[in-house]
A and B are shown apart, each in its own frame.
Chain A
Amino acid sequence: MNYWPLLGIALVVVGFALRFNPLLVVAVAAVATGLLGGMHLVPVIEALGKAFNDNRYISVTWIILPVIGLLERYGLQERARTLIGGVAGATMARMLALYLVFRQLTAAIGLKDIGGPAQTVRPLVAPMAEAAAIKRHGALSEDEREQVLGMAAATDNVGLFFGEDIFFAIASILLIQGILASDGVELTPLQLSVWAIPTAICATIIHGARLFLLERKLGRQRAGEGA
C-alpha cells in the first residue's frame, strides 16, 4: 500500500497551524496528494478543476448577500436587537436555547434550509443574542462579544447536525443505508433515522446547559468586577 498520500494530510495540518492562507494550503495539499498518489501534474490539475466545477452548487448561496446587505442598510440588525430587547425575561441563553430546539425540530422534519449562517445567524440570531446579553449584563468586552457571537453560530450548527438525521430522507441516512447494503446489511431509512434521536436529546441537553453556563459566566464576571 502507498502511504505517501498521507503527507497531504500533514501538509494541511502544518499549513493551518502556521497560519498560511487556508485557500493556498488546501490547493497545495490537493496537488501534492495527487502527485504523491502517483498521478502526473496535468491530470492532477484536471482533477482539481473538475471537482471544483462539480461543486459549484456550494457557493451559489452567496447570491443571498445583496438581500441581507440591503436589509441591513435599512436597519435589520438594529430592529432584531430592539425586538429582543422588548421581550420581558428574554436572555441570551433562553433565546439561543429556543433557537436550538427550533432548529433541531425543523431539521428533524426535513426543513434543514430554514436557517444558516447567512440566512438567519448574521441578520437575526447573532444580533439578538448580543442585544439580550447586553441588556442583562451591560457592555460586553471584546472577548465576551466574540463568545456570544460564536455561540450563536455554534447553536445553528449543533441544531442542524443533531436534528437533520432524524429525518429519514436525508443524504447522510441514505449514505449509511447504501454503505451497509453494499455489505449485505439491508435496512430501511426509518430504522436508521430513529437512532438519531438519542444523540439529538443529548445534544439539546449538553449544548443547552452550555448556553446557560455562558450566561452565568457573563453575570459572574460582572459581579466580580462590582466587588
Chain B
Amino acid sequence: MITLEWLYWLTGLVFAVWAVMSARDRGNGKRWGNAAFWGLLSASFLFGSQLSDLANGVLVLALVGIAGFGGLGRSDPPTTTPQQREELAARFGNRLFIPALAIPLTAVVGTLLYNYSPVGGWGLFEPKRETLILFGVGVLLALALCHAWLRPPLSAPMQEGRRLMDSIGWAAVLPQMLAALGALFAAAGVGKVIGSLAGDIMPQGSVFLAVLLYCGGMALFTIIMGNAFAAFPVMATAIGIPVLIHQYGGDAPVIGAVGMLAGFCGTLLTPMAANFNIVPAALLELKSQNGVIRMQAGTAIPLFACNVAIIYFLAFR
C-alpha cells in the first residue's frame, strides 16, 4: 500500500536537493543559512516518523532560530530572460497549460475514480490520504511530461523550484508551525477559557445578541487561531448548542452550518491563516505581507453580517 510516508520521502528528497543546491550557490550570501533550513526540513520529512518528539521539537527550534534571526537569503539561479520567455510562450502556445493543469486534474479525477470504482477496493492507497498521494503522482507525471516535451537541462526543474521556494522562504513552514501552536493552545486550555468567558458575558433574553455573540466569537476565535475548526467546538458548546438550540429553540442545521461559515469570514482576515493569506502574498511576491487580507476584508465583513442575519431570520422562523 502506498502511504503518506512515501510522499514524505519524496518531499524530503526534494528539500534535500534544494539544500545541496543552496550550499553550492555562491551567488547567495546566506547560502549556508538556506542550506541548513531546507536541510533540516528535509530531515523532518525523511526521518520525522523515527525521531523522538523531543528531537523533532529541537529540530523545530533550530528552524525557527535560522529563520527568525534573518539567516535565510534569496537565490537567483540562472534562467530565461523575459524576452526569451515571450518567444518560448509563442512557440509552445497553450500546450504549456497541460502539465500545470495535469496536477490538480490527477488529484481530483484520480480521487473520484479511486473512490467510485472497484479500484478503491484494492487498497492501493492509505485510506483518506488518496488525494494528497495522487497530487504527488500528478507532480511526477507533470515532471515526466515536461522532460519528454521541453527537454530542459536536467537541473532546471529543481533550480527553478528553488527560486520559488526561496522567494517564499520561512513562510513555507508557517502554516505547519501555526498548527503546532494550535496544539499547544489546546493543551494549555485556551479554548476552555475563551468558551467560559463567552458564556459569562452572554446577555439574557435577546436572541439577536446571542446570535451576534456566537458568530462574533466564531470569527474572533478563528482570527486568533487561524482556523475555524478550532473555534467551532468552543463556541458551539459555549453558546450555539446550550443557548441558541436548547434555550431559544433555534434550528440546529442553520446554527451549525452558518456558524462555521461565520468563522470562515474570520479566516479571511487573519495572518494566522498563513496558508491562505501569507503564503499567496509571498508566492505572488507582493510588497505587503498582508496584501491578500487587505483585499479580502471588504468581502469578509459584509459577509459576516449576512451570516448573522441568516441565523437570526432563518433559524428562528
Contact = CB atoms under 8 A, between A and B. Distances in A.
B26 interface: no
Given A9-B224, A27-B177, A119-B103, A193 B146 contact: no
A68 B89 contact: no
Chain A interface extent, by class: 35 or more
Interface of B: 4, 7-8, 10-11, 14, 41, 44-45, 48-49, 51-61, 63-64, 67-70, 79-80, 82, 84-90, 92-94, 96-97, 99-100, 103-105, 107-108, 111, 129, 131-132, 135-136, 139, 142-143, 146, 150, 152, 156-165, 168, 170-185, 187-190, 192-194, 196, 224, 228-229, 232-233, 236-237, 241, 245, 252-254, 256-261, 264, 267-268, 271-272, 274-281, 283-284, 286-288, 291-292, 294-296, 298-299, 302-303, 306-307, 310, 314
11 contacts: A8-B184, A9-B224, A21-B68, A23-B63, A49-B54, A49-B60, A59-B173, A65-B165, A66-B139, A165-B260, A173-B257
Q: Which of A6, A59, A80, A114 has the largest count of B CB atoms less than 10 A from its CB?
A: A59
Contacts of A44: 184
A46 B283 contact: no
Nearest to A64: B139
Contacts of A14: none
Interface of A: 1-3, 5-6, 8-9, 12, 16, 20-24, 26-27, 29-31, 33-34, 36-39, 42, 44-80, 82-83, 111, 113-124, 126, 142, 146-147, 149-154, 156-158, 161-162, 165, 171-173, 175-177, 179-180, 183, 185, 187, 191-196, 198-199, 202-203, 206-207, 210
B284 A162 contact: no
B295 A147 contact: yes
Contact of A66 (B4, B14, B271): B14
A22 B278 contact: yes
B285 to A, nearest CB: 9
Contacts of B284: 117, 121-122, 126, 149-150, 152-153
B257 A193 contact: yes
A49 to B, nearest CB: 3
Main secondary structure of the interface of B (DSSP, over half): helix
A119 B4 CA distance: 20
Given A64-B139, A113-B104, A71 B96 contact: yes
B48 A56 contact: yes
Contacts of B89: 74-76, 78-79, 82
B44 A67 contact: no
